[in-house]
């Protein structure tokens, strides 16, 4: 690989042991992928924040102890639990202790303590075309696709090293040619624009799209501009990245690198074209909605990715002053930043007064179902619904936010009229 003088100095240890260690690992990574050079990054999002073992904690502490400092702004992903209310979640004290050690190490290295899986809604979003090193599947998908920044699928603790070195090997999605679409998914004529008034559609389309695409770069044609909120695009990115391994998708006429078909494909023809219609979306719904229509629901869980301020406002409107059923819990996960904003406005107290429990910092996927004896969960997140069984052994119920509210109030599954009747 070609190295600049500064990169040679990093590799030689002239800028400290931690920077040298980082460069050695990244150099080997570049050699493996055939990179010819490094590219400087402007930001990093670190996903080595969810506790998964002592080795992870020890590694972060070692880096901090030898003087590691992030050389670019580095935000922290969600961790395993609410750092202040972990006991109410029935997490083990050992997890709390380990998480505090992870937090301390990151702060010592100069991280921005966002503790959120939706940093792009907190002001931590790079510019179009910026080279970055981001981890967490939905963040990667959103940043590449909706923002148009450039990152590969990095994962902790690798992005720790990227943030310290301030550069990554130039391969994969850091290169323009690799960002062009290979194939095309077309929405069929039987999918009507007004169906997208129901936010569930963004999850169903993304789920079907992800299953077809896998980890390839493809485009989607026929997506209407109706109801294109940041939160709905957030759900699309998260669900597509979980049903497939998508790091970059193109929505023709919507996302910045796909304003036209020609732009998305770099002037070339698609290698493959696949059409999806109501049949495929109904199959997506069936796979996301494994539930007993008459059965009770123990938990309604939302905030995967983390709830935004706009979603909190929507939640209050949907609740309309009604309280959560005593036999059902409603948990909402968000960032500490959004929590503070909602607290100052009084919205948080109003929602909590209706029986909603709001947690910060943590990831809903780390919910300790065994400690709670949970047998049934409902969610408005296609990502959570996709991973839920593998993660906690429960087939979830999927519905939109209004469905989740009605279910939490009734204490049993309530889903609105079929979207397919529109």
d(CA 246, CA 239): 9
User: Which two structure tokens, joined as six digits, stand for 59?
Assistant: 């590694």
Q: What is the pTM of this model?
A: 0.95
| Residue-range domains of the chain with CATH | 5-175 (3.30.499), 180-287 (3.40.1060), 290-421 (3.30.499.10)
User: Which two structure tokens, joined as six digits, stand for 100?
Assistant: 């505090």
Q: What is the pLDDT of residue 157?
A: 85
Give the number of other Cβ atoms within 10 Å of residue 175's Cβ. Answer: 12
Residue with tokens 């996301």: 288
d(CA 80, CA 361): 8
Q: pLDDT 10s digit of each residue in the chain, 422 long? A: 999 999 999 999 999 999 999 999 999 999 999 999 999 999 999 999 988 889 999 999 999 999 999 999 999 999 999 999 999 888 889 989 999 999 999 999 999 999 999 999 998 889 999 999 999 999 999 999 999 999 999 987 899 999 999 999 999 999 999 999 999 999 999 999 999 999 999 999 999 999 999 999 999 999 999 999 999 999 999 999 999 999 999 999 999 999 999 999 999 999 999 999 999 999 999 999 876 566 889 999 999 999 999 999 999 999 999 999 999 999 999 999 999 999 999 999 999 999 999 999 999 888 788 888 888 999 999 999 999 877 777 888 999 999 999 999 999 999 886 777 65
User: Which two structure tokens, joined as six digits, stand for 305?
Assistant: 């990715």
- Nearest alpha-carbon partner for 46 in 120, 133, 105: 133
Q: Which residues pair with 48 in a beta bridge?
A: none
Inter-axis angle of helices 158-165 and 54-65, nearest 10: 10
């Amino acid at each position: 690989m070609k190295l600049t003088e500064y990169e040679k100095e990093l590799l030689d240890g002239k800028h400290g042991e931690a920077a040298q260690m980082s460069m050695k690992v990244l150099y080997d990574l570049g050699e493996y992928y055939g990179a010819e050079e490094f590219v400087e990054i402007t930001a990093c999002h670190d996903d080595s924040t969810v506790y998964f073992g002592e080795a992870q904690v020890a590694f972060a502490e070692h880096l901090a102890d030898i003087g590691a400092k992030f050389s670019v702004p580095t935000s922290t992903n969600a961790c395993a639990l609410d750092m202040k209310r972990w006991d109410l979640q029935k997490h083990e004290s050992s997890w709390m202790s380990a998480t505090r050690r992870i937090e301390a190490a990151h702060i010592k290295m100069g991280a921005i303590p966002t503790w959120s899986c939706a940093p792009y809604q907190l002001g931590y979003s790079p510019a179009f075309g910026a080279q970055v090193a981001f981890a967490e599947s939905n963040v990667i998908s959103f940043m590449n696709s909706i923002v148009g920044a450039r990152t590969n699928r990095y994962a902790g603790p690798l992005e720790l090293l990227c943030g310290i070195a301030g550069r990554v090997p130039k391969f994969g999605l850091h290169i323009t040619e690799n960002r062009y679409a290979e194939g095309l998914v077309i929405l069929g004529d039987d999918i009507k624009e007004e169906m997208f008034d129901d936010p569930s559609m963004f999850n169903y389309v993304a789920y079907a799209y992800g299953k077809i695409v896998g980890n390839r770069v493809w485009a989607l044609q026929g997506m209407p501009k109706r109801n294109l909120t940041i939160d709905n695009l957030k759900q699309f990115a998260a669900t597509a990245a979980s049903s497939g391994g998508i790091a970059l998708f193109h929505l023709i006429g919507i996302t910045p690198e796909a304003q036209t078909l020609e732009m998305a494909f770099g002037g070339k023809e698609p290698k493959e074209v696949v059409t999806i219609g109501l049949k495929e979306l109904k199959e997506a719904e069936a796979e996301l909605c494994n539930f007993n229509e008459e059965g009770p629901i123990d938990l309604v869980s939302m905030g995967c990715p983390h709830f935004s301020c706009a979603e909190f406002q929507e939640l209050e409107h949907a609740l309309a002053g009604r309280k959560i059923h005593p036999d059902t819990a409603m948990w909402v996960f968000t960032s500490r930043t959004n929590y503070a904003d909602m607290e100052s406005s009084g919205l948080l107290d109003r929602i909590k007064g209706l029986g909603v429990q709001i947690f910060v910092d943590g990831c809903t996927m780390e919910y300790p179902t065994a400690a709670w004896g949970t047998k049934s969960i409902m969610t408005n997140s296609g990502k959570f619904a996709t991973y839920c069984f593998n993660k906690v052994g429960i087939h979830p119920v999927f519905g939109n936010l209004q469905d989740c509210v009605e279910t939490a109030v009734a204490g049993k599954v309530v889903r609105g009229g079929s979207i397919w009747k529109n």
